[in-house]
Structure formats: C-alpha cells, structure tokens
Chains A and B, each alone.
Chain A
Amino acid sequence: MRLGLYKLVMSVFIIFYIGTVVASHNRKSDFWGAYYKKFRWMQTTMCFWQNWGMFAPPPGSTSWLVLQGKKADGEIIDLEPLYAPVEKPYWRWRYDRRQKLALSSFQKSRKPLRNGIARYACHRAEEAGTPLKSVIMTRDRTWAVRPSKRWKDSDQKGRHKVEELGEIKCR
C-alpha cells in the first residue's frame, strides 16, 4: 500500500517536473508557455533552473571590477576591490566567490547587484572613517590575443578598454 502510494506520487511528480523542464525551454509556444506559467514554481521555489549554456560562448576577455569613491569635497580615492587582479605567475587553489560576484555585475540588467556592491563599499568606507558621497564603478577589460599573434609573441597584450559602469550615490 505504502509502495503503491509512493509510486503514484513520484509518477505524478516526475511527469510534471519533466514537463516544466521542457516548458522552460519552449516558453514561446502557446501550450508550453501557459504550462510554464502554471508550474514554474517547481523551478523557482528551490531554484532548480535548467539553463546550462556553460562557456557558450567562451569568455574571451579578462575583466576586473574597479571601485573608486568620491568624497564630499569631490576628491576621488581608490577603494579596496571585491577581488584584486591576480599577478602573474599564479596558481589558485580556491574558487573565489567574490570574483564571481564581480563578474556577475558586468551585465547591463544587473543594476540591483551593482547597487548592492556600491552600498557595501559605502558602508565599509564609512566604517573606516572616510564617508563617501558616491561610488564610481568601472570595468577594466583586456581581450585575449588571437592565437596566431600569440605564437609570434607570447607577451603581447590584447585590446584594452576601461568602461564606466556608473556612479552610485551613498545613502
């Protein structure tokens, strides 16, 4: 009896769970779009997302998040970054989650995250006795050199660009 009930519950679960996975990849279709709206809680509640585009496309550049603080008198000071650029030669043992956070903040749509990082920088500066008016965030990006260029000169640097991500006021 107990095994029968287990099989029934699990059968119903797996049918709807697989259905939600299929629907999450076919949201533009009328049927699957409506299905996903009804059953997306199966993914959202426990964050069981099913998008797996890992390294597609591959990164192709190295980016560092640079934080600067603007004081009330207009002076601009360098702030401690979330994750400092690595110096060559290096070997890293541990996956640094602060770096992942910094990399996540570069996407245009992730303004709440940039606001959060700025707020954190404001809070730290205030604790250190240097209250700030705002935090300026920039992305320091260097592209990888093409293979044929690297074969000729392994020390050749790729294209470099400093991109302003915005100035966020401290509250």
Chain B
Amino acid sequence: MPLKDILRGLRVVWQFWNWFWFRPISARGVGVMRILLGVVFIMTTIDIWGDLAVLVGPDGVFHEGSARRGFRLSRWTYFDHLDSMTAVTFVHALALVANILFMLGFKSRTMGIISVIAHTALYQRNSWFMNGGDRLVREFGFYICLVPCGASLSIDAWLKNKGRLARGLSPILSPKVPIFALRVIQLQIAFVYLISGVEKWGSGSWQRGSALYYSLSTDNYLRSDWLVAPLLDGRAGYELLKIGTMVTLYWECFFWLLVLWRPTRWLALVIGVGLHVGIHMTLMVAFFSFVSMWAYLAFLPDDWVERIEAWWRRRKERSLSI
C-alpha cells in the first residue's frame, strides 16, 4: 500500500478520534453537571459526619493497624496520621469546604480533585461502609475534572469575564470545552450496566424473575416494609415485580446498544430514570440512584441547557404577549 494512502487513512482515524473525544461543546451543560455533582459530594460528606468517629476515627472500627491488614493492594490515607477526633473532624470540614467551592466553581478543577482525594482517603481508611454509588461519585468527580468544568456557571467564569472587561476585552458569553469528560462518563455508566447485567444474567433468581421480590424481602436494604407490602403479599404484585425484574435485566444488558441511536437513547434514559426512582423509593442505596441519573445528562444534546433557556424565554415572551 502506498505511503500516501496510509497517511490518508491515519488522518481519517485521527479526525474521528478528535471528533469523538475532543469536539468542542457548550460549557453550560458541564457547568450544570459540576454543580449537581458538587451537591452529591456535599451530601456524602455531611452524611458521613455523624459516624465519623466510628468509621474512620482513631478509636473507630478500622484503626490504622486493622486497615493495613485489611488491604492487600497499595493504600494511602491521611487518616492514618491523625490521632485525635479534633484533627479528623477538622480535615473532614476542609473536605466539605472543597466540596462547596467545587459546586460554586471556585478553582473548580483543583477543588474537584481535592474532593475526590478526600473521598478516596475515607475509602482507603475504611472501604466497608461505602457502596458502588460512592465509587461512582468518586469516578465521575475525577472524570469531570479532566475538562475545564468551571468554564461556565461558576465563580471562575465570572472572575475571568470581570478580568477581561477590566482589560477592555469582551466577555466570553458562550464558552466551549472538549467533550472528553462526557464521553468517559457515557462509557463508564454503560459499562456499569453491562457488567451488572452480565453478572445478573448468570443468576437464577434474575432468570426466573424473582430477583426483585427477594431484593425487596430483606429488611437490611428496604426503605419501608409497609410501602412494598402490597407488592410482596399477593400474586398480582409478584407478577409486576417479575416484569420489573425482566425489564431491569434486559435494559442493563443492552443499555450500551440502546444509547447508540437517538430514538432508542431516549427510551433507555426514560426507563433508567424510572428504575432509579423506583430503586431510591424502595431500597437504601445511598446516592447510587442520584449519581446514576446524573450521568444521563452526558447523553443529552450538547446544547441542552441553551435549549431549555430558549424554551423558557419563548414561554415567558408568550405569556407577556397574552
């Protein structure tokens, strides 16, 4: 094959790679996602506050020696070097400040990375009180910091435009960021569902359709016994749960395929919202449902915030003209 053709082929590959990972998109959607993820970080930090002494404190269940024996792979955490509850509380309060600043968009990426590090430090000290939802929060926090997530709807953006005005330059009204973080988030959530679906596929109760019945029969995870009683106590409820089990199984296995095409993408996301709202209403899974639905924002059109704003403006103008 002539060198010219090889180079042309490589150029086409690079163009696709560049479009897929680095295409510039409106920063407003990423800004909204940063704010919402910041809220989840804040909720997690506050949620753990009450049990800090037991979970990661110097005299808690997992003191340094136990923690070291409990992990086989590399671990690091500043909690191993804090020998009083005052110090532990102070450091946790600093993490909360970083979470708030990340949400507000002040030094957004630095605060985002600090929030992820603080979250990981908790996990590295005692992983057993955290669940898959916490891990998703950490991963998504890292991914969104791979692009300038404070380019819009942030203190950073406000300060930048103020500086530009002071220098006699026009403010940046529609900042753009690479799509990179959104792509990683899309791949991550599709992978979560695929792996979860494949694992469930091999489970008898998922194949028989009884998985949701058994999931809702345990007091360990249940939000309310009386809320789900109508579903568990009769045949009609069981048939509904059977349908729910099958929808969950197939939807998880084929989510990645459904989101590839726009019409089925909406279907996949709507089913996902329904399932996660259902999970959150009936089961205690911390922030898993919140953060999973947060990831769906990465599948929306790049300019979804602008579209909502335009729709809102049109609605307002119409109501004024009437």
Contacts and interface: CB of A to CB of B under 8 A. Distances in A.
Partners in one complex: yes
Interface string A39-68: 011001111111111111111111100000
Contacts of B54: 82, 98, 101, 120
Contacts of B48: 97
Contacts of B204: 57
Interface stretch (A27-35, A71-79, A147-155, A159-167): A147-155
A13 B213 CA distance: 42
B225 interface: yes
Contacts of A59: 214-215, 218, 220-221
A19 interface: no
A90 B229 CA distance: 12
B221 A91 contact: no
A90 B224 contact: yes
B203 A101 contact: no
A120 B129 contact: no
A53 B199 contact: yes
Interface residues of B, number: 81
A151 B202 CA distance: 27
A151 B234 contact: yes
Classify chain A's interface size: 35 or more
B286 A95 contact: yes
Interface in B196-219: 196, 199-200, 202-206, 210-215, 217-219
Contacts of A119: 61, 63, 66
Given A52-B193, A116-B66, A120-B59, 20 more contacts: A7-B18, A18-B187, A21-B191, A47-B138, A55-B211, A58-B211, A59-B215, A60-B205, A63-B220, A85-B219, A92-B284, A95-B47, A97-B47, A97-B55, A98-B129, A100-B130, A113-B61, A117-B61, A144-B218, A147-B232
Interface of B: 17-18, 21-22, 47-48, 51, 54-55, 59-63, 66-67, 69-70, 73-76, 116, 120, 123-124, 126-132, 135, 138-139, 142, 146, 178, 180, 184, 187, 191-193, 195-196, 199-200, 202-206, 210-215, 217-227, 229, 232-235, 238, 284-286, 288
28 contacts: A7-B18, A11-B17, A45-B76, A46-B116, A49-B135, A51-B195, A54-B199, A55-B200, A55-B215, A56-B206, A59-B214, A59-B215, A60-B217, A88-B225, A89-B226, A95-B285, A97-B48, A97-B55, A98-B51, A98-B55, A110-B70, A112-B69, A113-B61, A116-B67, A116-B70, A119-B61, A123-B59, A151-B234
